[in-house]
Structure 1
């Protein structure tokens, strides 16, 4: 959510992220419902799709995925380096 648009140069380097909460869903995970499924699957090592989801995300272990993590500096870096 964009809260404020500032004039360049008045507030330091722009654009930047001032805050947030929780990690964003991975690209192409199936929206909010797919993301909820992903979180549930990663939390259950016995789930039949657990290993596939780890591979898809490029993770070695489910512990490497924390949906509660948010980094304003990482978001700011992404904003200043569009792909």
Structure 2
């Protein structure tokens, strides 16, 4: 099967001026790997917890709390979009 790529436009909320990056990644990338790509794209040092949100569903590293996100080490961008039905 061909490895499909997707171009993502990533912007930071509540930051002025606008901070944006475009990255091209495999559509089947796991969220923990996408986190690593964004760390490199922004020049960050991986010093904070993270959570990706698609609509009202979160993907991150569960810490045993009540409202834990889905484990980012087990979910891919493609599976999340298929499950949630999001198009953007």
TM-score with structure 1 length normalisation?
A: 0.26
Structure with bigger strand share is 2
TM-score with structure 2 length normalisation?
A: 0.26
Higher normalized contact order (CA 8 Å, seq sep 6+, divided by chain length): 1
